[in-house]
Amino acid sequence: MQLAKRMARVQASAIREILKVAERPDVLSFAGGLPAPEAFPVEALARAHADVLSGDAAGALQYGATEGFGPLRAWVAERMTRRGLPAAAEQVLITAGSQQGIDLVGKALIDPGDVVVVEAPSYLAALQSFSTYEARFETVPSDDDGMQVDALERLLRRKRPKLIYLVPTFQNPRGTTLSLERRVRIARLAARFGVTVLEDDPYGELRYRGPALPPVAGIEKEAPVIHLGSFSKTLAPGLRLGYAVADARAIRALTIAKQAADLHTGSLAQRAVARMFETFDYDAHLARLRRLYGERLDAMLASLERAFPEGTTWTRPEGGLFVWVQLPSGIDALELFGDAMLARVAFVPGAPFYPAEPCLETLRLNFSNRPPDAIARRLREARASRAPRRRIAG
């Protein structure tokens, strides 16, 4: 079999490879971005699926519209309007997770060689997806307030990128959030330079402290922004349900791209979730999730000091699923990974999240998947069992 040349530039996801090892039952994994299974609304979903199958089996099992199931599109439009992105149902495309939204944007917008601006570090599977469309990456550094806008503006003056890819809220992998001031500036820059922003927001509703910020897509009417959301982290990732919200022209292009990809998102899952939302108290469910994950985040933050060598720093997210750790200069996270696995603890070394020039002394920790006491205990044990570290040469 001869593969397309473009596949030579696309790397297998290091995270998925690590997850294979981390899935061993004796390993405590801080590696994946897995939601807590005990928080899946199993009963409500079971009832909704049963209702849909008994009341509308023909609709639920038949081919459906590419744009998605009308009532679910309307629900998303209404919720996004309340969250600060005014939208009509026609501006919503239901996707197979937000990952498909990323891929459809790549398919619809990126020609080989086009420049895509990304944060460094950035969400790995987005880099992977844009690579399959032969994008070239330009990176803009991030700090605790998200993408550095002065650096972005300098870049926009020099280059004409096709796309700016952002995870503004509780970024994967750093957990940090783009400040309001930077949101406004990025929206204005997008309008001024006519560059499309892809706002990928699977974590926006998982805020444990601090005030909510408006989506970048809702700030500046003239700015071309495509907003992506997901039910993966708030309901369950196995549903494979997400959405894109954008102007009619962008939704049309993404819809055509989706027709070629998978015709439409699964009819049964869309109808079941729309049915569930008729009676399910989603806000109360989110409040429970925020309490659960907020406790786990606190447990992790409280344990990090004892778990890592002196001189280590980490982000202090207000939500989402990840903490980003910066090790002292010269300590390679990949080596540390080997040690941690001996103590049956897994994490993701940070290097793969960089499209270029990786920082080897970084790693990502997930805190959503295990109870707080397990997080604290195992981080302590991992520290106790660790051999003295060698430094990276040079």
**Residues engaged in binding ligand PLP (CB under 6 A):** 33, 97-99, 123, 167, 172, 200, 202, 230, 232, 237, 242
Residue 248: CB partners within 8 Å, gap ≥ 6? Answer: 90, 91
Query: How would you class 252 by CB atoms within 10 Å of its CB: exposed for 0-12, middle for 13-18, buried for 19 or more?
Result: middle
Nearer to ligand PLP, 31 or 300 (CB): 31
Residue 311: helix, strand or coil by DSSP?
coil
CA–CA gap between residue 181 and residue 5 (Å, rounded) = 42
Q: How far is the CB of 56 from ligand PLP (least distance, A)?
A: 25
Q: Are 141 and 290 in contact (CB under 8 A)?
A: no
Q: How far is the CB of 335 from ligand PLP (least distance, A)?
A: 26
Distances in Å between the alpha carbon of 236 and those of 157, 317, 318?
41, 22, 21
Q: How far is the CB of 135 from ligand PLP (least distance, A)?
A: 16
Nearer to ligand PLP, 200 or 220 (CB): 200
Nearer to ligand PLP, 32 or 224 (CB): 32
Nearer to ligand PLP, 85 or 126 (CB): 126
Neighbour tally for 26: CB within 10 Å: 5
Q: How far is the CB of 200 from ligand PLP (least distance, A)?
A: 5
Q: How far is the CB of 141 from ligand PLP (least distance, A)?
A: 18
Closest CA to 122 of 364, 301, 365, 328: 364
Q: Where are the beta strands (DSSP E) in 259-318?
A: 313-314
Nearer to ligand PLP, 98 or 303 (CB): 98
Q: Which residue is nearest to ligand PLP (CB)?
A: 97
Nearer to ligand PLP, 106 or 237 (CB): 237
Q: Measured in Å, how far apart are the chain's first and last C-alpha atoms?
A: 41
Q: How far is the CB of 213 from ligand PLP (least distance, A)?
A: 16
Q: Give the alpha-carbon dihedral of 5, 10, 16, 17, to 10 degrees.
A: 70
Nearer to ligand PLP, 99 or 303 (CB): 99
Nearer to ligand PLP, 218 or 229 (CB): 229
Q: How far is the CB of 16 from ligand PLP (least distance, A)?
A: 11
Q: Do you find a cis peptide bond into 25, omega within 30 degrees of 0? A: no
Q: Do you find a cis peptide bond into 173, omega within 30 degrees of 0? A: yes
φ and ψ at 79, to 5 degrees? -65, -40
Nearer to ligand PLP, 133 or 308 (CB): 133
Distances in Å between the alpha carbon of 332 and those of 2, 18, 188?
36, 16, 39
CA–CA gap between residue 359 and residue 350 (Å, rounded) = 7
